[in-house]
Amino acid sequence: MQLRSMVSYQKQRHSLTSTSAHWQQLTTPALPSHRTRWDWYCDTDSIVASALKALLTGFLPSLLVLLWQSMALPRLIFLCAQGEGRHMSLSNLDRRMAEVYL
């Protein structure tokens, strides 16, 4: 929704039905020749554009969350727990990680 409002030209509506409609009016470019307009992305008839929209709004966010929760966050918690300097053994460090993470 937000990406579509940034890159697609749409006629401005004057109804203030919700905050998102008002935000869309503020972020929608007024001119069709706006620099961030992607004709191929805004085209609703193209299979490539439909696939790209599905990829950008469906698969990519879930992939980023998966990578953050499975790779970055445990490593950061390990480094923080290790930086505390309270635990001499790895098993105690693992317990401390479980306390912080869970």
* pTM of the entire predicted model: 0.51
Q: Same domain for 27 and 62? A: no
Full domain range(s) for residue 36: 1-42
pLDDT of residue 68: 95
Are residues 72 and 90 part of one domain? yes
DSSP 11: P
Residues 12 and 29 in one domain: yes
21: left (phi over 0), alpha (psi -120 to 50) or beta: alpha
How far apart, in whole angstroms, are the C-alpha atoms of residue 32 and residue 38?
10
Do 34 and 66 share a structural domain?
Answer: no
pLDDT of residue 16: 46
Averaged pLDDT, groups of 10, the chain, 102 residues long: 56 52 56 61 73 85 94 93 90 91 84
Residue 28, pLDDT score: 58
> pLDDT value at position 47?
82
Same domain for 52 and 102?
yes
pLDDT for the residue 34: 55
